[in-house]
Amino acid sequence: MQNMRLFLFMALSFVTLLLWDAWQKDYAPKTPAPTSDATAIPNAQDIPPTAVNTTELPVGTVASPAGALPPTDGAPKIAAVEPVRSGQRIRVATDVLTLEIDTIGGDVREVTLPRYLDKTGSTEKPFILLSDKQTPYFVAQTGLLSAQGAPDHHATFTAAQTNFSLEAGADILRVPLTWTDANGITVTKTFVLRRGDYTIEVEQKVDNGSAAEWRARQYRQLQRSSHTASSESALIVTYTGGVIYSPEKKYEKIKFDTMKSSDLTRTVVGGWTAMIQHYFVGAWIPEQDETNTFYTKVPAEDRYVIGMVSPDKVVAAGQSAVFSTRLYMGPKAQQVMEKLAPGLELTVDYGWLTVIAKPIFWLMRSIHDAVQNWGWSIILLTLLIKLAFYKLSEASYRSMAHMRRVQPKMAALKERYGDDRQRMSQAMMELYRKEKINPLGGCLPIVVQIPVFIALYWVLLESVELRQAPFMAWITDLSTRDPFYVLPLLMGITMFIQQKLNPPPPDPVQAKVMMALPFVFTLFFAFFPAGLVLYWVANNTLSIAQQYVITRRIEKLHAAPAKS
């Protein structure tokens, strides 16, 4: 019983922590947003000497008074900050993506996802993932860097038209933008989109019409403010910020505070860089055999940049070359992302319990493939987990049943020894020995199951598949709270019944606290996503059934000799 009380108090502390963190995110004072947009570019002084020719000074930077670059100490420097300019907006639409590309720099300034609505039931407001017009500020930028002049994300491109859409029956859409300089260098930046695909291929084709060879590096970066997008639930607290992946160090979070305190500079073969938030991700994915320098910068207040820059590529006079990369802008769909690049599916962040959470998600998805309802998938998954831990749970419930059976004898001991704690403890240990009861018998089963329950919690919290997924009747979105609080009430009722099946604490104060917990948890769970509460209701209901059967079986077993 002591173990069960400890477990319940730990759970209460965990829920309280979630509430406090959510309150801080919603109501704590925030840094005011800047009044003007800012931009950054990986200039020659921003990249370490191993990745750049330090005599280069690309377009859009500010040189020192002597016209030379400042000394380089191996650490990246902050670039000059300029207001973001805006040119024509090129609107691009496929069946799964709607983009706005600016002719200044060829930046992707807005991305909306027509298949993911901003609010349940809304048919007119698709979810906006990227935007330079609202909070959070979030854009994707690409460009070329060359001492001979190249189009960075300050350059002005031209486009043949301002609207592109994927035609019926077509599977591919190409959106070309062109830049030309006076020396005969022409760069055609083409965005390639495909039906049903959230991945955008970006090709920068260079035609060298000059009389000399031309060399440049390709960079791509994501620029974002630290503001967190509005959550689907008041108690959902998930990571928002930068992440990178490299074959050597695997998945790493690069928090906004980390970017502010120091700039990242790392040479990586393959990998990817990304900005993630709850359910959605924006990621630049290079060719996996390409070497890039990954970097971060903070060019202005509340502007954070994460990106990569390639080594020089030489284009001979009269020749052409193509710089290529991919941009993923969409949901954290594991089946899709694991095919795009190694480790990209890890943006569905299960933390240190990933090794347990991934099989759980696979099982839940497999069940969904059969029943076609995520609510029933959660219930059936809970049933399978309960069956897997049946023997462990049985040991725990047997221990509780035996403790419940000897409760009258324990009450008699308390009455006999009163406040003499030493003699009371000795008498209780003797009672346990005589009745063959292990007071710690219920501890190990609970401890073993806790990692699985926590992993399942993160699976239900992180799975975009549950976002706006209906269950039945009034529950139209498993990722938001139950609008009529039916599931939280059921959870409180099942928790109350469970406590009635357990032996009451001998201390009256403890007994009152334990009886109050179902009401406290009901209040907390009223704001939890319906999918999580559904899991707890299903788990509690199955636990009640199992505990009731075991308790009655043990009571009958020990009552049989008395009747004879």
Q: 504 and 403 in contact (C-beta within 8 Å)?
A: no
Buried b (16+ CB within 10 A) or exposed e, 223-247: bbbbbbbebbbbbbbebbbbbbbbe
Q: State whether 389 and 431 are in the same domain.
A: yes
544 belongs to a structural domain:
yes
Q: State whether 333 and 406 are in the same domain.
A: no
Dihedrals φ, ψ of 370, to 5°? -90, -40
Q: What is the mean pLDDT of the chain?
A: 82
Q: Give me the mean pLDDT over the 70-83 stretch.
A: 38
Q: State whether 383 and 522 are in the same domain.
A: yes
Distances (CA, A) of 217 to 58, 108, 220, 223, 271: 11, 20, 10, 19, 18
Q: State whether 64 and 195 are in the same domain.
A: yes
Q: What's the angle, vertex CA 238, arms to CA 232 and CA 244, rounded to 5?
A: 130
Q: 216 and 52 in contact (C-beta within 8 Å)?
A: no
> Count of domains in the chain?
2
Q: What is the pLDDT of residue 531?
A: 93
Q: State whether 293 and 209 are in the same domain.
A: yes
Both tokens assigned to 300: 């202005």
Q: Give 441's DSSP letter.
A: T
Q: Which distant-in-sequence residues (6+ apart) come within 8 Å of 546 by Cβ? A: 386, 390, 393, 394, 397
Where residue 291 falls (left for φ over 0; alpha for ψ -120 to 50; beta otherwise) is: beta
User: Is-above-0.95 flag for pTM?
Assistant: no
Q: What is the pLDDT of residues 235-284, one digit of tens each?
A: 567 899 999 999 999 999 999 999 999 999 999 999 999 999 999 999 99
Domain-ending residue, one of 349, 378, 396 = 349
Q: What is the pLDDT of residue 402?
A: 72
Q: 213 and 316 in contact (C-beta within 8 Å)?
A: yes
Q: State whether 267 and 139 are in the same domain.
A: yes
Q: What is the pLDDT of residue 547?
A: 84
Domain CATH number, residue 128: 2.70.98.90
Q: What is the pLDDT of residues 315-326, one digit of tens each?
A: 999 999 999 999
Domain-ending residue, one of 299, 329, 349 = 349
Domain-ending residue, one of 303, 333, 349 = 349
CA distance 102 to 85: 9
Identify residue 426 by its one-letter amino acid code.
Q
Q: State whether 192 and 249 are in the same domain.
A: yes
Q: State whether 284 and 167 are in the same domain.
A: yes
Q: State whether 162 and 231 are in the same domain.
A: yes
Q: Quote the domain boundaries for residue 488.
A: 2-20+357-563
Quick one: pLDDT band at residue 15, thresholds 50, 70, 90?
A: low
pLDDT higher than 60, residue 57: no
82 belongs to a structural domain:
no
Query: Among 251-265, 406-420, 532-546, where is mean pLDDT lowest?
Result: 406-420
